[in-house]
Structure 1
Amino acid sequence: MNGNVLNTAGSGKRVARNIVIASFGNALEWFDFIVYGFLAGTIAKVFFPTGDEFSSMLLATASFGVPFIVRPIGAVLIGRYGDRKGRKPALTATVAMMLVGTLIIAVTPSYQTIGLYAPALIVVARVIQGFAAGGEFGSATAFLAEQNPGRRGFYGSWQFASQGVSSILAAGVAWLIFSMLPAQAIVAWAWRIPFFLGLAIGPVGLIMRRSMHETEEFTATQSEARHGERQQTGTRELLGAILTCVGLVMGGTVSSYVLVLYLPIFAIRQLHLPPATAFASAAAMGLVSFVVSPLAGALSDRFGRSRVMGFGLVGATLSIIPTFGILLSHPTLTTLLVCQVAAGFLLAFYSGPLAALMAEIFPTRERTFGISVGYNISVTVFGGFAPAILTLLIHVTKSDMAPGWYVLLAMLVSLASLAAVTARFRQARSGRVLSVDG
């Protein structure tokens, strides 16, 4: 399908509106999801009291990873739904489910009040959120990337730019709570504030998504299906594309969960920095992602995905171990800020065009499903349990460098995947998908 077939002329206002709505809902969902990670230490005390700080923290960080077990299920079911019924209904369903999970977390009494029912309800809430998140990424990525095939990089980059907004808001709210309130008040009630905030603005996101316009690329594909022109992708080909996604996502997802979500916990526990300062650094990294991701996406539309993404990923790979070394030898807020901002800058050049690249790997008729499954397998296996894995690794090995080596390994896998997919697309002569350098 040629991009000229799509009626992109004169649709600038509608495209801009779609981008804003999709990004707002995406930011809202990831805010609800991320803020749990930032508050894992407090949640450990409220819902997982074991009498041992390490055991409580391990349970809390593991509960952060529980939703990732069901994310692939959400990816399969919501992904198929989005490819058959449309991106709009899939996106509307995911934001509704995320709100249900957030509501349960916000109102669940503590362990001291209702006993084992408390952690059980938290796990149920996280499972619901995980199912929703499983379908959100693929649906939102497909929706954003399909706004204009000629500008996939820029429009798709708002997937990660909006996640940057989520990090800013989640870290900002956490910073305010920890800097303004005593620890006793935080454990007693203040930790619930971010979740009620998400509930307050959630209906706005739900209403906005219900008013979105379906993408013309998807509509054209549905028309082809009605006229019997729809072709199915071979199982081997689809599986290969999904595995390519897994490798491409691995470096970015491990980096995000370690540098954005785990590093504040690491800074508090291992570097003994105040909680407020650690959250401030995470907000700074989110700001970098928000600003740089669209720039990187736009550059990839002009110069090719592989050049822009390769610059960011190679730079991040070479600098990650020195970054952790500097942080360990100079554990100050300034060092933490510099390290996270530098890492965020380089990673944004990789993640900014990543959504477009993933969209170009799959045909429109299977795009939501393929992206959802590939992304969520990678996130589940390599990212979701990263906080718990690193907490355990540091405890067992007594080495504070464990997070750096974990991130480095993930980046090397993504670097190899990017090189492989670049070579494959360059060899392609015709166009089921857009060349990575085209």
Structure 2
Amino acid sequence: MPSSSVSSPAATASSRVLSFSQIRILVLASLGGALEFYDFVIFAFLAKLIALHFFPASQAAWLRQTEAFGLFGAGYLARPLGGIIMAHFGDIAGRKKVFTFSVLLMALPTLMMGLLPGYETLGPGAPLILLLLRMAQGAAIGGEAPGGWVFVAEHAPPGRVGLATGLLTGGLTGGILLGSLVILALNAALSPAAVSDWGWRLPFIIGGIFGIGAMILRRWLDETPVFREMHQRAETASSLPAAILLRDHRFSILCSVLTTWTLTAAIVVLILMMPPLMQSLHHIPPSETMLASLVATFCLTVSVVSVSALTDSISLSVMSLVCGPLLAVGAFALYSLPAQFPHSLPVWAGLAGLCCGFVGLVPVGMLRAFPPMVRFSGVSLAYNIAYALFGGLTPAIISAITPYTPLAPAFYVTLAAVAGCAGLWLMNNHRQRQMPSEALPV
């Protein structure tokens, strides 16, 4: 096994200092990740306007909007396939090539969305092309998060893998925040008519151009030391990495899927679904729910960076036992207290975001669960299976059970937190039993 590894808490202080090269890698990786998630989420923010331009005007407004959200959901369907394929080549040909390709695969479709003629020009071809572009985006995002985590972790010095992983995760969640800010700025700078006519294209064009720039910058990055050492020793996967995973690492895959369920529950229920749920449950104005969403996303970003960094010094099992209950507390505060304290939603949304630190534990646990030979494929397979299952099912489940109790979202998040804590605990103990005398490698 390569000597480059995730360090133990006992790593020396000198080895824990980030070099200029490592800082540059973290900045470029986090920036690219933020731009990719920005490109992915602005489609949802602009779905109503997209529906006006890419579906027949003769259709009812609700049907066109439903079709637009269907295109948004198609991106999730493409995530597993794209992630698994890119991870396969990442374990065989190198992390850098795939990490660079993923941001290009996101940037080009995003730019094309901003320039694509609508239904009046292309007819039925317009939504079909938009569907293909959206699926390309989904394939890109399926490889970006796992690839980014592996890339920065394998570049990080001993004792700083948690910090490096947290900064990358913070960049991903920061992309959601960036998308919200750009949409707010767009609506502040242009009239509603201008936004509806042509202004909605600007966020896509901006995201595509900056994404291409991020791809160019990523070409200057070096291959990870872990992969270079594996390549020199001829220890890269000689057969299908997925086959090796299914043969030797089924338990780690299962535990990783459980922990990623918790991640999806936190992001989807406490961040993405919160605005419409608060509008329907407590009749809170959209302007206040948008502010709350921004506060929650900012606090989430701070939380995941901080919690991930703490894993460099504190056991992952201990962290899970702290962050799991906190996630449940944040969920119940968010979905119970706004009704009792009017106009306080941003406060409870911020608290829920801070309680989402468990999200920062998930990539650290998965990176430790798989050996370098199949690490990219292992993280990608578990992450994308969980997102395909729970990312799509969670909104439907919440919508079905919320009419029975307004606390249904909190109960769901709590259930996912229990599953995630169990997954992290079992995964960490299993790995320690496999390698009791050395640090858990990354």
Q: TM-score, normalised by structure 2?
A: 0.86
Match of 2:69 among 35, 55, 61: 61
Match of 2:416 among 386, 397, 410: 410
Structure 2 CA distance for aligned equivalents of residues 110 and 370 of structure 1 = 40
Structure 2 CA distance for aligned equivalents of residues 171 and 89 of structure 1 = 30
Map 1:170-249 to 2 at 5 A. Answer: 170-225=179-234, 233=244, 235-249=246-260
Structure 2 CA distance for aligned equivalents of residues 400 and 221 of structure 1 = 52
- The SS at the match of 1:157 is helix
Structure 1 CA distance for aligned equivalents of residues 240 and 81 of structure 2 = 25
Q: CA deviation at 1:358?
A: 1.0
- Identity fraction in percent: 27
Q: CA deviation at 1:50?
A: 7.7
- The SS at the match of 2:117 is coil
Match of 2:274 among 236, 256, 263: 263
Q: CA deviation at 1:306?
A: 2.2
8 Å CA contact 1:169, 1:283 repeated in 2: no
Structure 1 CA distance for aligned equivalents of residues 58 and 317 of structure 2 = 48
8 Å CA contact 1:62, 1:385 repeated in 2: no
Shift in CA distance, 261/181, structure 1 to aligned 2, threshold 3 Å:
farther
Deviations 1:378-416 (A, max 9, x none): 1111114645x268638x948655544443433332233
8 Å CA contact 1:320, 1:343 repeated in 2: yes
1:109 counterpart = 2:120: no
Deviations 1:32-80 (A, max 9, x none): 0122222334334443568555544443333222111121111211001
8 Å CA contact 1:157, 1:351 repeated in 2: no
8 Å CA contact 1:175, 1:279 repeated in 2: no
Q: CA deviation at 1:83?
A: 0.9
1:383 counterpart = 2:373: no
Structure 1 CA distance for aligned equivalents of residues 376 and 28 of structure 2 = 18
Structure 2 CA distance for aligned equivalents of residues 214 and 91 of structure 1 = 10
Q: CA deviation at 1:275?
A: 4.3
8 Å CA contact 1:79, 1:139 repeated in 2: yes
Structure 2 CA distance for aligned equivalents of residues 287 and 274 of structure 1 = 20
Corresponding residue number in structure 1 for 2:316: 305
Q: CA deviation at 1:118?
A: 2.7
- The SS at the match of 2:105 is helix
8 Å CA contact 2:174, 2:298 repeated in 1: yes
1:20 counterpart = 2:27: yes
Corresponding residue number in structure 1 for 2:294: 283
Aligned pair count reads 431
Deviations 1:319-350 (A, max 9, x none): 41342122355563x31x122211111112x1
Structure 2 CA distance for aligned equivalents of residues 330 and 175 of structure 1 = 26
Q: CA deviation at 1:97?
A: 0.6
1:82 counterpart = 2:90: yes
Match of 2:326 among 315, 331, 351: 315
Corresponding residue number in structure 1 for 2:372: 364
Greater alpha carbon shift after TM alignment, 240-249 vs 180-189: 180-189
Greater alpha carbon shift after TM alignment, 236-245 vs 109-118: 109-118
1:151 counterpart = 2:160: yes
Q: CA deviation at 1:13?
A: 1.3
Q: CA deviation at 1:95?
A: 0.6
Structure 1 unaligned segments of length 5 or more: list them: none
Structure 2 CA distance for aligned equivalents of residues 176 and 271 of structure 1 = 27
- The SS at the match of 2:207 is helix
1:421 counterpart = 2:432: no
Structure 1 CA distance for aligned equivalents of residues 261 and 393 of structure 2 = 13
Q: Which amino acid aligns with 1:30?
A: F
